[in-house]
Each structure stands twice: as C-alpha cells, then as structure tokens.
Amino acid sequence: MEQKLFSTTGKEIGTVQLNENVFGVVVSTGSIYHAVRNEAANRRVGTACTKTRAEVNYSNTKPYKQKGTGNARRGDKKSPISVGGGTIFGPKPRDYSYTLPKKVKRLAMKSLLTLAVEEERLVVVEDFTSENGKTKDMAAIMKAFETVDQRTVLIMKDDDVMIRRAARNIPYLHVLAYDKLSAKELLYGRKIIVLKTAASNLNDFYGEN
C-alpha cells in the first residue's frame, strides 16, 4: 500500500510503500487491550504497604474487662475494628508485572499501526535529525504538521540521542524507536509521525509473520 511522504516543512514530496501485513491487518481490539493493560501493570511500582494487627505498634493492654460491660470481648487495642488498629487484608509490596505472549504483542502493534492509517493519524516524513538538539527546531517541525498541543508520537529509525534531546522539552511529544513501540502512546496519540527509514524498518520488523 502507498502512503504519502512529506518533508519536514509539511510539503508532499512523494510516496512510500507500507507493508500490508503491518499497516493493513484486521484490527484486533482484544490484543490492543491486553498490550495496554500489560504496559500499565509493568509500570506499577507495587510499594503500597499496610500493617496488620501483628505489626501495629500499640499497647497490648486489654481495653476493658472480659465480662460485665455489655461490650464485645476485646483482647487488645490493635484489633482492626479499633481506631489506630491493624488493617484487614490491606495491600503489601508485590510485583504486578507479567509477560505478554510475543504474538499477542506483535498483533497489538500491527493493529495500532493499521488503526492509525485508517483514521488518517499516521504521517510519513523524510528522515531528519537535530544537529544541535535545539527544542525550537523540533517545535518548528511539529508546527508544520499542526500537532501543537496535540498528543503526538514520533517514531525514529534508531535511538537518536539528538532527536530525544530536542523533543524532551515538548510536553505533548513522545519519541519512540521503531523496535520499542508503546501500545498506550500509539492508541492515544492524535498524530503519529514516522520517519521514512523507520517505516521501512517497521515493514521488516513486524512483517516477518
């Protein structure tokens, strides 16, 4: 399938070929859901911690005598039903991360790229870099594609340090390498800018099967 190719100033300068097996698949909403959920779970730090009645630093004194008061029997003030007592079934530090099957993740990425093409959110741009890493140069390119203040994803052909430096002060711009895509960013990005070589790399990287 053909896709228009644009210059960094936003002018159409030709076309590029996109692999149908990557940018034209049947969209799998289920795999997209699982990929986004997996990324969210892997980012969780899991440090929430509460104290049980055995861990609360409180008095072991019996609050009142066993019989004759009309109240329920109470052993100590650390009971979960007391103010300042322990917590019942509260959270403890744990690891929320898990591994998503490779085929599910690949299908999710191809589905998201296809969805971006179908919704006309994907734009292929000629290769560029930032010689000095200046934010104003990157901002000028974003302005040419009318992405200012819109959640935008830039997919690079490799991990270009200068592009990352130029983009890090632009809050709405998220930079990704072609082989380290994020399902969340592709799903919520209003505009997805793909460098020409990155598009070719995506054809090969996800077009194998």
Query: Rounded distance, CA 121 to CA 116, Å?
Result: 5
Angle between helices 196-206 and 102-118 (to 10 degrees): 140
Q: How far is CA 126 from the centre of its chain?
A: 26
Question: Domain boundaries in the chain?
Answer: 2-28+100-206
Q: What is the pLDDT of residue 195?
A: 93
Q: Measure the CA–CA gap between 60 and 76, rounded to whole angstroms.
A: 5
Count the helix, strand and coil residues of the chain and give each as a percent rounded to the nearest 5.
35, 15, 50
Name the pTM for this structure.
Answer: 0.84
- Of the candidates 26, 22, 12, 25, the one whose C-alpha atom is nearest the C-alpha of residue 199 is 22
Secondary element (H or E) of residue 165 = helix 161-167
For residues 155 and 203, is the Cβ–Cβ distance under 8 A?
Answer: no
HSE-CB of 47 using CA atoms within 13 angstroms: 2
The H or E element spanning position 197 is: helix 196-206
Residues contacting 3, CB < 8 A, separation 6+? 15, 16, 17, 18, 23, 117, 122, 124, 199
Per CATH, the number for 2-28+100-206 is: 3.40.1370.10
Q: Are 196 and 175 in contact (CB under 8 A)?
A: no
Amino acid at 171: P
The Cβ of residue 67 has, within 10 Å, a number of other Cβ atoms equal to 8
Tens-digit pLDDT profile for the chain (209 aa)? 889 999 988 898 999 999 999 999 999 999 999 999 999 999 999 999 999 999 998 888 888 899 999 988 888 888 888 888 899 999 999 999 999 999 999 999 999 999 999 999 999 999 988 888 899 989 998 998 887 888 999 999 888 899 999 999 999 999 999 989 999 999 999 999 999 999 999 999 888 75
Whole-number Å distance between alpha carbons of 95 and 55: 22
In three-state secondary structure terms, 156 is strand
